[in-house]
């Protein structure tokens, strides 16, 4: 038997559920199908279980895309405050952690519960454990063969997300469907992901695992000032996750280990005021001690500051202010928060998210070539484009 609906959404994640509830509120008959055994798994695991559900400072500048203007329209029409309004209507307590990042006080489960309650109130039907086998388009709409039957819908919304964390249900179906219908898919790679080190840097840093410090990470003319964490495999922490989206193998990656300070001026002040002290001693006052010692062992002059001559001082300052870290790669999709690249937006409407090649076909969320920074931007993107598509499907 055929399950008929107006709108079939593939993927019960952030973007798919938002699209479904918005379309349902307009009176559309909506079915959502997902191959996973429960909905919104990434929402559940996000933000350390508290879901960083939006960022109040969201602008187009917080996203990477080959088409940087594409995200503007949807972000302007569904703002963080629209989503906060829904969160407040559902009585979910939240707080700002830093830099406009909003988190649930209690649990990310509340966000999933809210979306499901909204879907239910709007008459949306959701089916989990429903893998898709084929998608075809006929004169009368889309025919989708899936584990729970044959679906027929006038509009099809692809909301299958990116490739990160395959164990949470990520798959390449969205990209395959895009290609099937003539869309280009821009090369994908892991973003917001820890970097691995190799060779000398790996050897010299790995036993510092657990050391954290504030840095400014710079790559390809982009910089992020935040904390960094040394791990047994490499480096992580917000500053590194952010810069990882801008880094590719071979790119020059620099760390300012004294962010917000002029390393040369600091060294000169130490030479003037603390000349008898060892560099490792004064450095341990501004850096984690284990890291300061390691730097003095391998890279910096290990002697009383007054004995550091002018060329050495300048060299040391350059190293502290712009440490060249040789990353060998990323930890990949296994631990990445997002997938860079994806469905080329140049053949998708930025206001309706409808394909310009296939009427009735829509792409929303991370499957598109739009990737946000760390800090709630990726969910805001999912809500905004889910909402925009939900108003027209």
Among 197, 282, 382, 393, which residue interacts with ligand FAD (rule: CB under 6 A)?
382
- Based on the shown chain and the rule CB under 6 A, indicate whether residue 141 belongs to the binding site for ligand FAD: no
**Considering the complex, what minimum distance in angstroms separates the CB of residue 184 from ligand FAD?**
19
Distance linking the first and last C-alpha atoms of the chain: 24
Provide Rg for the chain, Cα atoms: 24
Find the binding residues for ligand FAD in span 11-50 (CB under 6 A).
Answer: 11-16, 34-36, 41-42, 45-47
**Considering the complex, what minimum distance in angstroms separates the CB of residue 236 from ligand FAD?**
12
**Considering the complex, what minimum distance in angstroms separates the CB of residue 170 from ligand FAD?**
6
**Residue 359 to residue 153: CA distance in whole angstroms:** 12
**Residue 300 to residue 380: CA distance in whole angstroms:** 44
- Among 90-98, 232-240, 274-282, 375-383, which window interacts with ligand FAD (CB under 6 A)? 375-383
Number of other residues whose CB lies within 10 A of the CB of residue 313 = 18
- Among 166-174, 209-217, 229-237, 316-324, which window interacts with ligand FAD (CB under 6 A)? 166-174
Nearest-CB residue for ligand FAD: 13
Among 164, 226, 236, 355, which residue interacts with ligand FAD (rule: CB under 6 A)?
164
Tell me whether residue 144 or residue 219 sits nearer to ligand FAD (CB atom). 144
Number of other residues whose CB lies within 10 A of the CB of residue 200 = 10
Tell me whether residue 84 or residue 286 sits nearer to ligand FAD (CB atom). 84
| CA angle, residues 90, 94, 99, in degrees to nearest 5 | 135
Residue partners of 155: CB distance under 8 A and separation at least 6 = 6, 7, 8, 141, 142, 360, 361, 362, 393
- Based on the shown chain and the rule CB under 6 A, indicate whether residue 110 belongs to the binding site for ligand FAD: no
User: Exposed, middle or buried, 82 (CB in 10 Å: 0-12/13-18/19+)?
Assistant: middle
**Considering the complex, what minimum distance in angstroms separates the CB of residue 317 from ligand FAD?**
37
Among 10, 195, 228, 257, which residue interacts with ligand FAD (rule: CB under 6 A)?
10
Find the binding residues for ligand FAD in span 330-349 (CB under 6 A).
Answer: 337-338
Among 131, 208, 277, 392, which residue interacts with ligand FAD (rule: CB under 6 A)?
131
User: What angle do the packed helices 377-390 and 14-25 form, to 10 degrees?
Assistant: 30
**Considering the complex, what minimum distance in angstroms separates the CB of residue 107 from ligand FAD?**
13
The partner residues of 200 in beta bridges, in order of sequence, read none
Among 67, 107, 125, 171, which residue interacts with ligand FAD (rule: CB under 6 A)?
171
Place of tokens 């484009």: 385
Residue partners of 250: CB distance under 8 A and separation at least 6 = none
Longest dimension (CA), the chain: 86
Tell me whether residue 355 or residue 378 sits nearer to ligand FAD (CB atom). 378
Among 83, 205, 323, 379, which residue interacts with ligand FAD (rule: CB under 6 A)?
379
**Considering the complex, what minimum distance in angstroms separates the CB of residue 3 from ligand FAD?**
15
Residue in 360, 387, 12 with CA at minimum distance from that of residue 152: 360
**Residue 32 to residue 7: CA distance in whole angstroms:** 8
Place of tokens 């406009």: 100
Tell me whether residue 215 or residue 338 sits nearer to ligand FAD (CB atom). 338
- Two tokens at 12? 């019960």
Interface contacts to ligand FAD, rule CB under 6 A: 10-16, 34-36, 41-42, 45-47, 51-52, 131-132, 159-161, 164-165, 169-171, 173, 337-338, 365-367, 376-379, 382
């Amino acid at each position: 038997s055929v399950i008929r609906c107006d709108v079939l959404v593939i993927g019960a994640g952030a973007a798919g559920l938002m699209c479904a509830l918005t379309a349902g509120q307009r009176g559309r008959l909506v079915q959502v199908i997902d191959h996973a055994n429960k909905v919104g798994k990434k929402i559940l695991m996000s933000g350390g279980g508290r879901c960083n559900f939006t960022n109040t400072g969201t602008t187009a500048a917080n996203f990477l895309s080959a088409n940087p203007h594409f995200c503007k329209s949807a972000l302007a029409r569904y703002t963080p405050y629209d989503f906060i309004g829904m969160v407040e209507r559902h009585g979910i307590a939240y707080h700002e952690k830093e830099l406009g990042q909003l988190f649930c006080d209690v649990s990310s489960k509340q966000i999933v519960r809210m979306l499901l309650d909204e879907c239910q109130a709007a008459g949306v039907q959701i089916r989990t454990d429903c893998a898709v086998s084929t998608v075809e388009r006929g004169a009368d709409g889309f025919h989708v063969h899936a584990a729970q039957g044959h679906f027929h819908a006038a509009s099809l919304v692809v909301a299958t997300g990116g490739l990160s964390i395959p164990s949470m249900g990520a798959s390449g179906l969205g990209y395959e469907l895009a290609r099937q219908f003539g869309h280009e898919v821009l090369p994908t790679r892991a973003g917001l992901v820890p970097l691995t080190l190799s060779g000398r840097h790996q050897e010299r840093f790995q036993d510092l695992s657990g050391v954290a410090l504030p840095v400014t990470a710079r790559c390809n003319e982009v910089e992020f000032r935040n904390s960094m964490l040394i791990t047994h495999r490499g480096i992580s922490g917000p500053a590194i996750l952010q810069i990882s989206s801008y880094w590719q193998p071979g790119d020059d990656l620099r760390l300012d280990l004294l962010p917000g300070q002029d390393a040369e001026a600091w060294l000169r002040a130490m030479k003037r005021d603390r000349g008898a002290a060892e560099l490792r001693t004064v450095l341990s006052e501004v850096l984690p001690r284990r890291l300061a010692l390691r730097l003095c062992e391998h890279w910096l002059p290990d002697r009383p500051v007054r004995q550091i001559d002018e060329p050495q001082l300048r060299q040391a300052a350059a190293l502290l202010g712009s440490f060249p870290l040789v990353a060998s790669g990323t930890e990949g999709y296994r631990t990445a928060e997002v997938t860079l690249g994806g469905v080329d937006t140049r053949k998708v409407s930025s206001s309706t998210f409808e394909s310009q090649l296939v009427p009735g076909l829509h792409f929303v969320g991370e499957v598109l070539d739009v990737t946000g920074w760390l800090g709630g931007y990726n969910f805001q993107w999912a809500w905004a484009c889910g909402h925009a598509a939900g108003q027209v499907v």
